[in-house]
Chain A
């Protein structure tokens, strides 16, 4: 579209603006108007005071970069959900079949999450009279990726509603929330409907009565948690889970979380674009490694296998990689200072392994570790801020 056409189309939009302005007939729908217009056009608004030039980055681009970084997880999830299903049925499926079956189970969940969460987002924008925040684009995608493919849609709707309303809006909306809204949604579903979020049966989109005999549906983490002693790697291999499976993500699990490699690609996008904090990612990985060594050191013969599991397995299994790349780095709920991010990330890593190993009832420790540190992030920041203040007072 050339310059003149753009200008004309924009003018048509602007001619509608009075309808949505204060006193206009559709005043209440202003956030929708603003969202639509700013979706189509970078507004022709210029700086009123210094600085007279501005960075081309806006929240839309920021959030859509995260969506781009999530695509590998989404695509792999789609493939893997289909693959796990068809494999459980005893078939050797082609790639296209896998995608088709995966999409059949996955897309309704993603669409429900966006639709229901989107309604809440608009509702709050209208009532509170602010712009619709693009951050929801990320929340609405993150949440379904952390769910099992068998989750009923009404639970998806309940979960995302809880995440958006209680996790974000009650605190004052985007930028004000303490907890990561997507994880809040997942935690709600996890605790409210445990039968649908844990156990071995939920991770593969298949009716267990139809599955082949050899199929167990157990995730590597539950295999490790159920085993005993130092032979955990052999146990995992015997169950059909190698380290490479964890890296690539050829195993049952939450839809978007299974592939550490997909997360790694996402991490590359986030770090290269400067959108995701490399500090949080590196620190959390370091914390995970330290936590694993810690657990290995205290594990005894009678300890569950998960305490014996080497660090490189911890990092690729379960939601560790996904949490590290997409959840812990959420700028709003993570620590805000550079030093704080290192501490915050490290503690999430250690805690995640600790919860995994010590409390086998929650094989997924990453979610709880991140939520826990979300709560403590302001405290971590407080100490960093105080150090800065003290440096200032110490000046001679």
Chain B
């Protein structure tokens, strides 16, 4: 057990965090999956409107790596395969049958499962489609099944605004979680690392977990972000690859081997001032925003974000919870002009700088929206990036290297260390899309790797 204190970062004050209770949500009528959310995956759709599908049946696969398949989060009928511009598939909707059938894989007793070798585990994960829940650092992409990682990291903390409480998620899934750890341990020649938040007593699943190294993290956001945590435990170096996955997906791995079925259960936090009922819900993968909010949030006024507000994806109200996400955030869009807003004292404004009155009198309900808060201007190197960056890079210089397209420089300055936490973009007074620039740089590296 090792402790890490992360000093730099910023806790964005945001009201409406989900209560620390878990409520069982009703069964949704429709679930969906967005092929666009998997980095570097070129989806080839295997179903069409009206097809009958089972839980776990492949809906699409990666064109470049056909063995990587993406399973259906529900059983029933394909309601719509929605295409966007340039025939890019944006979302696949499935209307659930009352009695969903599932693709049956081989089930094992826990002891038999623990006796499996690496190749068998990889094959079972690929077969079921659960492989997609693994991701690799650098690049945050689904890993190559042929490769062997130096370690596997389990993400079990959230330090961002409107946090998801991982310790609530695994109640009653302790055995599956442990089995998951034991199976994942076989994928790597190194160790399995379990990354926890320091505050509060850890859930039973984490406290009792064996066969893994536990780390605790304190400090402001992004101390709870797995990309940051990996940087502190095993920072990137040439040739090093580590895999990571969410703690709920670890339990899903255990469940898959125990039952032989693709597991769809998921606990999701719903938070933000635009959400009426702010709680953790026990629901399922692919559940839609509308369903979880029970249609109570105004889509024109609010922004729906699947995942963290700093790292997630903005989705429409009928769209689904992201494949990797365990929270929904709903907050005002803020697309109204504000009269001489920059001149006002700013009692409710949120800023890492302390140039508004809110720095003197912390507001009870800080006003935070998706508004950029000002016009886009030339980059002024205020030093604020470096002040909030939790990993050991100089973000301003890295940004310039990406803009110049200089691969050597990007590598030297640590593009693979960037946790893509979103803070640089958040604080930038010039309103530069730092995150977008980083993502471009990483994409260029990915293309380079493919040759």
Contact surface of A with B, Cβ cutoff 8 Å:
1, 3, 6-7, 9-10, 34, 38-62, 64-65, 130-131, 133-135, 173-176, 272-275, 277, 331-332, 336-338, 341, 381, 384-385, 388-389, 391-393, 395-396
Contacts and interface: CB of A to CB of B under 8 A. Distances in A.
A337 B397 CA distance: 9
A273 B359 contact: yes
Nearest to A38: B375
Interface of B is mostly: loop
A286 to B, nearest CB: 19
Contact of B336 (A6, A47, A389, A392): A6
Given A51-B310, A62-B429, A3 B336 contact: yes
Interface in B39-98: none
Given A46-B369, A55-B428, 18 more contacts: A7-B336, A42-B373, A43-B372, A45-B372, A47-B371, A48-B433, A50-B312, A52-B305, A131-B377, A133-B378, A174-B378, A175-B380, A331-B383, A336-B381, A337-B383, A389-B412, A392-B392, A392-B417
B336 A44 contact: yes
Nearest to A173: B378
Given A44-B337, A47-B372, A62 B392 contact: no
25 contacts: A6-B337, A38-B374, A41-B338, A43-B374, A44-B371, A47-B370, A47-B371, A49-B436, A51-B311, A52-B303, A52-B314, A55-B350, A59-B374, A59-B429, A59-B430, A61-B374, A61-B429, A131-B377, A133-B378, A273-B355, A274-B384, A337-B383, A392-B235, A392-B414, A395-B235
B241 to A, nearest CB: 14
A43 B309 CA distance: 21
Given A54-B371, A273-B354, A42 B338 contact: yes
Nearest to A135: B380
B14 interface: yes
- Highest count of chain B CB atoms <10 Å: which of A47, A57, A58, A332: A57
A71 B26 CA distance: 61
Interface stretch (B140-148, B279-287, B340-348): B340-348
Contact of B341 (A42, A65, A277): A42
Interface in B230-258: 235-237
Contact of A57 (B237, B374, B375, B414): B374
Contacts of A277: 383
Nearest to B14: A53
Contacts of B352: 55, 57, 274
Interface stretch (B169-177, B195-203, B292-300, B419-427): B419-427
Contact of B333 (A46, A59, A135): A46
A58 B373 contact: yes
Interface string B309-348: 1111110000000000000010101111111111100100
B422 A51 contact: yes
A261 B369 CA distance: 40
Contacts of B346: 56
B435 interface: yes
Interface size class, chain B: 35 or more
Contact of A56 (B331, B339, B351): B351
Nearest to A394: B237
B122 interface: no
Cβ-closest 3 pairs across A and B: A58-B374, A42-B341, A51-B422
A389 B378 CA distance: 26
Contacts of B340: 39-41
Contacts of B331: 52-53
A395 B340 CA distance: 49
- Highest count of chain B CB atoms <10 Å: which of A47, A130, A384: A47
Contacts of A55: 350-353, 373, 426-429
Given A42-B338, A51-B309, A174-B378, A62 B393 contact: no
Contacts of A392: 235, 237, 392, 412, 414, 417
Given A40-B340, A51-B425, A385-B394, A57 B386 contact: no
Given A131-B375, A272-B354, A46 B334 contact: yes
Contact of A43 (B355, B375, B427): B375
Contacts of B383: 277, 331, 336-338, 341
Nearest to B422: A51
B199 to A, nearest CB: 23
